[in-house]
Amino acid sequence: MKKELLMASALVSTLGVASVAQAVTATYAGSMKIGAEFESADDSTVDANTVKDQSNFNISLSETSDTGTTYSTSFEIVDEGTVAADDDNALKVTFKSDHALELLNAGSAAGTHAVSVPGASGEQGVGGTSTNNAPTGVSFSAASTVMGIEWHSPADFMADGLKISASLGTDDGSAKGTTARVDSAYGVGATYVTTAGDSTITIGGGFGGSEVVKTGTQMTADKEGFNVGISAVTNDLTIGIAFGDGDSIKDEGGSVNTQIDGSVTTAGISYVTGGGDITVALGMTSGEAKDSTTVGTAGTTDDSHDSTSASVTYTLADGVSAVIGYTTVDTNNEGLSTTDGGSAWYIGATMSF
């Protein structure tokens, strides 16, 4: 028995050494957020005070072959009351020429190049009605399937500061169900970075489209749209604005699907002061949409979502910051003012590694 245990230990040790020797390079990062939100809805009977306790852990895997080709992917574990794993990341292959392909779960190039606009920090928010379909993100009409690929050019492609991408997705079988699903999709996008005096300017955007299918039959309304944005960084000041417009489809459950024709504008500004320890940010979002559960027939009344948020973030120590944030939201559903708007405060801390 002793001999068998020794042999088993040796085998495990050997396999362990081999596993380490053949392992890809792994890096990790994450954060822990904890704070309190104080939400005051337009209907005062549903005011709420909530403790926000959120953590995430991200692992990135990468290795470069002898020919200079790099293979990479990542995954994330998020705990926001219930543990969830982000398992929809692509396998990315970056060639020695810096051209890259993302294989499976690749996403849409229309969303890849959406410009990042400054916004408030914090976990404050005001929930709206589930039937209000006004968009709040500029790439809301970008669509993709898990059976998709996305190509990325190197930086400075055809011109200094230019980078472009293109994506293509095909049917993964889910379109055979009774609710609307993306059957095939495409997207293109580009980002251009230049300088003007002391400012670094980023211009980006994309266009994408897809066919939406229900029980194998193509619907008369699909997902299609574009987004465009610009941001400028001048020393410690960052400003940005972006716009998205297009059509989308929402699965309401029970074989009910909603056609959405919407647009949204986001804008924001942030400033770093106090020797880099204090960041002040302000952001706004204004979205509107006409929606209809009779797909192929346009809606006639507007849904809207208008919000303004502000925050102050103070660095307490390396990787430790305190945040105070505020958001106010005004909503309309089918042209009528709702009681789903309101305001919310958040005060908390974030520890990052």
Neighbour count for residue 48 (Cβ, 10 Å): 11
Neighbour count for residue 348 (Cβ, 10 Å): 22
Nearest to 330 by CA among 278, 295, 284: 284
Q: What is the pLDDT of residues 90-114, one digit of tens each?
A: 899 999 999 999 998 888 999 999 9
**pLDDT score of 11:** 34
The beta-strand segments (E) located in the chain are: 25-41, 48-64, 70-79, 83-86, 91-94, 100-103, 148-152, 162-169, 181-196, 199-214, 217-218, 224-234, 237-253, 256-273, 278-292, 302-317, 320-333, 336-337, 342-352
Determine the Cα–Cα distance for residues 169 and 166; give it in Å rounded to an integer: 11
What class has domain 26-352? mainly beta
Q: What is the pLDDT of residues 63-74, one digit of tens each?
A: 999 999 999 999
Most confident of 31-45, 76-90, 259-273: 259-273
Write down the pTM of the prediction: 0.83
- Please give the residue that has the higher pLDDT: either 19 or 303: 303
Q: Stretch 207-218: mean pLDDT, rounded? A: 78
- Please give the residue that has the higher pLDDT: either 253 or 304: 304
Do 175 and 205 form a contact (C-beta atoms < 8 A)? no
Q: How many angstroms separate the first and last alpha carbons of the chain?
A: 46
Q: Cβ contacts of residue 264 below 8 Å, gap of 6+? A: 134, 135, 136, 137, 138, 140, 243, 244, 245, 285, 286, 287, 288
Determine the Cα–Cα distance for residues 290 and 107; give it in Å rounded to an integer: 26
In whole angstroms, how far apart are CA 219 and each of 143, 148, 211, 261, 324?
15, 21, 8, 15, 46
Determine the Cα–Cα distance for residues 152 and 162; give it in Å rounded to an integer: 11
Nearest to 115 by CA among 189, 215, 43: 189
Instruction: Indicate whether 341 pLDDT > 90.
Output: no
**pLDDT score of 76:** 86
Determine the Cα–Cα distance for residues 331 and 335; give it in Å rounded to an integer: 10
State the residue for tokens 């029980």.
Answer: 215
Q: Using 50, 70 and 90 to split pLDDT, how confident is the model at 192? A: very high
